[in-house]
Chain A
């Protein structure tokens, strides 16, 4: 379970989040949306343990959490393969083992031909796939996604949403997805939470009724 219990935050220039409570159960996808500056990313940083809330509490009992940021944040001096294996290296896995895992994952993400290329040789969509691969490589049970496809054009975005949806189901992952795109939220999420403008409060919470997909 991931629980954010009435968290608030202030970076020093007025409150960004006011008394927000969220709960995410294993295997569920919670989509978080709202106007820009409503503290969506701040919430995600708290869930990732990268930021301590000014008030309130964060409880994360998932075994392992991995993040995908809005920009790919790849190491420019490493190949796609080494970038995917980055988290595994941090876990202390041996070189051969992490390379073979990274290659298997790259194949699943449609990156088989890009494995030896450097980030600057890849398109924006491919770079974001590498970033997704890096997060999935550590076999998390919670994925935190901060507008992961925001910088891509509509065609690429739809393609990657489809891929992500498949991966989430296949691996039974829980995910917290921050997006400004309501269509994306409804497509990927089981539950939708809408935040108000700054300071962000929960405006609306609803279960997304999936059509006969």
Chain B
């Protein structure tokens, strides 16, 4: 079907149509309302260019990225260690379960308030801490299920070949764990990003995208606020397509095209 269209267009045209419709609707809305309420796409673009040329976007994006990655790194180290313990020992798992439930039950905004009280407002520790607490349960849960669900038939096969312990780790446990970890890393970075911006904004920080957003609000520069939101969205896309997708292709080359290939293989085996 639609043989005439090159593959890229055939695949992407609905997305492009959706995006154009969104921009058109935005433009119509901007024309019919006060620019103080809804600036047009064009004035948002102009604000974005101005903020970028003033050098404010790059510094803010870098600060937010550092807050996110710092918090994420902490969560990965701590969640990974705890998850490993809980995955290997049912007792540790049962001990940690209520703690994780409590940490998960506290809303992000409450963590931000606590962090403000503990670390003060204009401190990088506040967003880093908030991100770490928000991402920790996600990483923890993924490591627990990854470790405790190692494939028994594969382990038995390895035993029949008298595979040494170190090789069990590198050839069976770790690749299996990575396949569980990757979705959690994606989700964790997504959460971390939003929490970092929120914490920066709430804390009245002087660095980061959240700080830029707070300043735009104070000065009632609505176009600037929209521009900062655009920065956040672009950064999320960049993370997804420039970092996470290549990382996955590098870590798990065996997954390429697995969706259909795997199913086809399974059918052939039964039939």
Q: Which residues of A contact B (CB under 8 A)?
A: 48-50, 66-67, 69, 71, 73, 75-79, 86-87, 89-90, 118-125, 127, 134, 138, 151-153
The answer for the CA separation of A78 and B164 in the assembled complex, in Å, is 18
Given contacts A73-B157, A90-B163, A90-B164, contact A121 B171 (CB under 8 A): no
Q: Is the interface of A mostly helix, strand, loop or mixed?
A: loop
The stretch of B30-38, B217-225, B257-265 in contact with A is: B257-265
Question: Which residue of A is nearest B252, CB measured?
Answer: A77
CB of B9 closer than 8 Å to a CB of A: no
Give, as a whole number of angstroms, the nearest-CB distance from A120 to chain B.
4
Q: Flag if A90 contacts B261 (CB, 8 Å).
A: no
Q: Flag if A90 contacts B161 (CB, 8 Å).
A: yes
Q: Flag if A86 contacts B161 (CB, 8 Å).
A: yes
Given contacts A50-B156, A118-B254, A153-B271, contact A138 B265 (CB under 8 A): no
Which of B135-167 touch A at CB < 8 Å?
153-154, 156-164, 167
The answer for the CA separation of A71 and B268 in the assembled complex, in Å, is 13
Which residues of chain A have C-beta atoms less than 8 A from B159's C-beta? 50
CB of B66 closer than 8 Å to a CB of A: no
Given contacts A124-B269, A151-B270, 11 further A-B contacts (CB under 8 A): A67-B160, A69-B157, A73-B153, A77-B175, A86-B161, A90-B158, A90-B161, A123-B265, A124-B268, A124-B270, A134-B161
Size of the B side of the interface (Cβ < 8 Å), in residues, is 28
The answer for the CA separation of A70 and B167 in the assembled complex, in Å, is 24
Q: Flag if A121 contacts B261 (CB, 8 Å).
A: yes
Q: Flag if A48 contacts B171 (CB, 8 Å).
A: no
CB of B202 closer than 8 Å to a CB of A: no
Which residues of chain B have C-beta atoms less than 8 A from A119's C-beta? 254, 265
Which of B157-196 touch A at CB < 8 Å?
157-164, 167, 171-172, 175, 179
Which residues of chain A have C-beta atoms less than 8 A from B171's C-beta? 75, 78, 86, 89
Q: Flag if B153 contacts A71 (CB, 8 Å).
A: yes
The answer for the CA separation of A77 and B248 in the assembled complex, in Å, is 13
Q: Flag if B262 contacts A120 (CB, 8 Å).
A: yes
Given contacts A73-B154, A75-B172, A86-B171, contact A120 B160 (CB under 8 A): no
The answer for the CA separation of A141 and B256 in the assembled complex, in Å, is 38
Question: Can you offer 27 A-B residue contacts whose CB atoms are under 8 A?
Answer: A49-B160, A66-B161, A71-B153, A73-B156, A75-B154, A75-B175, A77-B179, A78-B171, A86-B163, A90-B158, A90-B161, A90-B164, A90-B167, A118-B253, A119-B254, A120-B254, A120-B258, A120-B261, A120-B262, A121-B265, A122-B265, A123-B265, A123-B269, A124-B268, A124-B269, A138-B161, A153-B271
Which residues of chain A have C-beta atoms less than 8 A from B164's C-beta? 90
Which residues of chain B have C-beta atoms less than 8 A from A71's C-beta? 153
Question: Which residue of A is nearest B162, CB measured?
Answer: A90
Q: Which of A86, A118, A120, A138 has the most CB of B within 10 A?
A: A120
The answer for the CA separation of A206 and B172 in the assembled complex, in Å, is 42
Q: Flag if A48 contacts B160 (CB, 8 Å).
A: yes
The answer for the CA separation of A10 and B159 in the assembled complex, in Å, is 22
Which residues of chain A have C-beta atoms less than 8 A from B261's C-beta? 120-121
Q: Give the residue of A78, A89, A121, A122 whose beta carbon is less than 8 angstroms from that of B167.
A: A89
The answer for the CA separation of A87 and B265 in the assembled complex, in Å, is 24
Q: Flag if A151 contacts B265 (CB, 8 Å).
A: no
Which of B234-263 touch A at CB < 8 Å?
252-254, 257-258, 261-262
Which residues of chain A have C-beta atoms less than 8 A from B265's C-beta? 119-124, 127
The answer for the CA separation of A79 and B253 in the assembled complex, in Å, is 10
Give, as a whole number of angstroms, the nearest-CB distance from A122 to chain B.
7
Query: What 0/1 pattern do residues 35 to 58 of B give for CB contact below 8 A with A?
Result: 000000000000000000000000
Which residues of chain A have C-beta atoms less than 8 A from B253's C-beta? 118
Give, as a whole number of angstroms, the nearest-CB distance from B271 to chain A.
6
Which residues of chain B have C-beta atoms less than 8 A from A77's C-beta? 175, 179, 252, 254
Question: Which residue of A is nearest B156, CB measured?
Answer: A50
Q: Flag if B153 contacts A123 (CB, 8 Å).
A: no
Which residues of chain A have C-beta atoms less than 8 A from B158's C-beta? 90
Which 3 residue pairs are nearest across A and B when measured between Cβ atoms? A124-B269, A77-B175, A120-B262
